[in-house]
Amino acid sequence: MENKMKTNKKILASLFVFSLLNIPATASASGIPTVDASAIAQAVLSLEQLKNTYAQIVQQYNQAVSTYQNFTGNRGLGMIFYNPELRQFLPNNFSSQLRNVLSNGVSSLSARGKEIYEEQNLKDVCNRYVGQLLLNCQKQQAANAEYQAALSEAQQKAKQKYDTIVQLQNAINSTQDAKAIQELSARIQSEQSTLESSRAQAAYELELAKARMETQKAAEAQKQHEHAFKALTPEQVAEIMRY
């Protein structure tokens, strides 16, 4: 029972990480692009840390698979409660989908992304802008909605994976068969490693997405700055000096 409680705490701790992956603040994406160098630097640092963590978890997962294969016997419990859709928490096309939204705005939103965009009235954030500022704001808010959609899916799949582990633990508690307990224990270890691996991969991709969004905001800010403060021609300078 004590081991089970420790296992549950470990899993819940890993699920809690998703709550830390907040979307960029609305104020910083309210329409007028601003360069946030510290946010970009932090995103790069986070990506490196997540990359190292993911590599370690993959190694642990491979070891768990090996252990599982060694324990699997003739009880037929090796695939009980197994759902292959839970191996990956984010959509396969998440990265390309976000790029499309950043380029095209609302028209490229996924079904869930569009729901979030409308439910949160994100278009209203951009009502005070016109021209290019309006387009930039709409793209940023659409990207926020798409990010939230992906994060929500990742959280749901992580919860389903946790529920699977609980089912396996309950199955152990309902049997006295030593071999069955071995098989189920190996499955639990494998599922826990898969949970950690999938969570780390999702966290890495989400941080990469945040960095991409920050980079685009910085690029748009630079364009706006150059447009607003473009160099004067000699003729314009001469005209100003006349007054």
Q: Which domain holds residue 60?
A: 2-241
Q: Choose from 95-109, 186-200, 202-216 the range with maximum mean pLDDT.
A: 95-109
- State yes or no: pLDDT of 12 exceeds 90: no
Residue 71 vs residue 164, higher pLDDT? 164
Where does the pLDDT of residue 50 fall: very low under 50, low under 70, confident under 90, or very high at 90 and above?
A: confident
3-state SS of the chain: helix, strand, coil percent to 5?
A: 80, 0, 20
The secondary structure of 140-189 as a DSSP string is HHHHHHHHHHHHHHHHHHHHHHHHHHHHHHHHHHT---HHHHHHHHHHHH
DSSP 90: S
Structure tokens at 149: 């959609």
Here the tokens at position 29 are: 């994406």
State the average pLDDT for the chain.
76
Whether the predicted pLDDT of 18 surpasses 50: yes
- More reliable by pLDDT, 142 or 54: 142
Q: How confident is the model at residue 59 (pLDDT cuts 50, 70, 90)?
A: confident
Alpha carbon distance 102, 120 (integer Å): 18
Rounded mean pLDDT of 171-198?
Answer: 85
Question: Based on the structure, what is the number of domains in the chain?
Answer: 1
CA distance 137 to 125: 8
Distances (CA, A) of 107 to 95, 101, 224: 17, 8, 23
Which pLDDT value is given to residue 23?
46
Residue with tokens 């609302």: 106
Q: pLDDT value at position 92?
A: 86
Of 5-14, 39-48, 78-87, 186-195, highest mean pLDDT: 186-195
State the pLDDT at residue 75: 58
Query: Which of 189, 102, 193, 198 has its CA nearest to residue 154?
Result: 198
Task: Give whichever of 47-51, 134-138, 236-240 has the largest mean pLDDT.
Answer: 134-138
pLDDT number for residue 5: 47
Of 162, 212, 213, the C-alpha closest to 188 is 162
Give pLDDT tens digits for 147-184: 999 999 999 999 999 899 899 889 888 888 788 888 88
pLDDT tens, position by position, 88-124: 888 889 999 999 999 999 999 999 999 999 999 998 9
Contact 72, 79 (CB under 8 A): no
**Which residues fall within 8 angstroms of residue 53, CB to CB, at 6 or more apart?**
200
With beta carbons less than 8 A apart as the criterion, state whether 129 and 96 touch: no
